[in-house]
Amino acid sequence: MSRRLTLTVLSGGLLVAGAFAWSCGGGEDTTDAGNDGSADTSNPDTSKPETGSDGATDAGTDGSDGAVGPRCTTSKPFGAITLVAELGGADAGSSGARLTNDSLTVFYAANPTAALNGTIETATRDASTSTFGASTALTTLADAAVQGLDPSISPDGLTLYAQFNPSNFVEIVYGTRANTSANWNYSTGITNLSGSAPNHGAPYLQGDNSTLWYAARVAPDGGATQGGGSLDIFKGDVTGAGQLANLTGVNEVNTTFDETSVAITSNGLSIYFARKEATDGGASGTFHVFSTTRAATTDPFPAPTLVQELDDMPTTNTSPTWVSPDNCVIYLQSDRGGPAGGIYVATRPL
């Protein structure tokens, strides 16, 4: 699902779980640019809320529309993978869908004309179970040759991170605005993720605004990659808009295979990502969804495993792009509907 897109920002005063080759879906980008769901029905659960292995309770608000009570049982597999048709269709080149914590607003990369250039778009809905309304492209201030992917919004809606692919390298940029009705300021690179050869992409801002997760092929962000120049996962503590500290590699999930496209719950306990590993443990030519859960953010992640219900080995690329705070809903990008790829969703049953 690799393509060139134009990142856009609103005037006034920006890649992939998705679709730069790091965001995955489609063939891998040779420029070293890194980067579905019906629920079962049942009677309401009147039992004592469970915490499950993910450390998040199944009770309380569902993290989407203010409803009280559990939406799902987090120990159950996700349901069927379903196309989010209103966000471009199955083979429209749409990717990198990331939602606000209430799941009512989505930002994603779109290529509606099937041309080389595309846009970062946004859409809203009234409830988490509704379809999104018409998408709106953010007004561009970026060069038409720049690829904009994986837009990730802060909880307050005032900072937007995304991937740029200028001049065949990969860079994470951010834009800000004064309030949610204001225009976006022009996007800029993150100082300690920029330089002569940035090659950082697929940004994912954790839902509590504490950590920015991303993919990279280069040191010194957390040390050397895990061999062979592989694409690996890194993170940094967010100290302010576009400001990161304590950059480090997430070595317990990194391997000699490519890893990218992180989606992590707001509490930092359950992580999903894409990896090029086959079922026999060897290298794969396509990306597949892996996951692992830890008991506390101070613990390392246990060894990740393939999320079988989200997979279609070995013929399609599938990678996560957003997971709800309660770990009940996951958005994906996949080329299962065609080589350009599309946006999908899956939901756990109650």
Q: Which pLDDT does position 144 carry in this prediction?
A: 43
Q: What is the pTM of this model?
A: 0.81
Q: CB of 212 within 8 A of CB of 263?
A: no
C-alpha distances (whole Å) from 320 to each of 19, 109, 132, 264 are 11, 14, 19, 9
What distance in Å separates the CA atoms of residue 183 and residue 112, rounded to the nearest whole number?
Answer: 23
- Taking the domains of the chain in order of start, what are their residue ranges? 82-347
Tell me which fold the domain 82-347 belongs to: Neuraminidase (2.120.10)
pLDDT in tens, the chain (350 residues): 444 333 333 333 333 333 334 444 333 333 333 443 333 333 444 443 333 334 343 334 444 445 567 899 999 999 999 999 999 999 999 999 999 999 999 999 987 554 444 588 899 999 999 999 999 887 644 444 445 789 999 999 999 999 887 666 778 889 888 998 887 887 788 888 865 455 789 999 999 999 999 998 865 444 455 556 789 999 999 999 999 999 998 999 999 899 999 999 999 999 999 999 998 999 999 999 999 999 999 999 999 999 999 998 888 999 999 999 999 999 999 999 999 999 999 999 99
The three-class DSSP label of residue 310 is helix
Q: Which pLDDT does position 147 carry in this prediction?
A: 54
Q: Which pLDDT does position 63 carry in this prediction?
A: 46
Q: Which pLDDT does position 228 carry in this prediction?
A: 63
Dump strand ranges (E) for 34-192: 82-83, 95-99, 105-110, 119-124, 136-137, 148-153, 159-164, 171-176, 188-189
Residues 6+ apart with CB under 8 A from 98: 17, 106, 107, 108, 150, 151, 152, 153, 204, 321, 322, 331
Q: CB of 149 within 8 A of CB of 23?
A: yes
DSSP secondary structure letters along 47-59 = SPP---TTS--SS
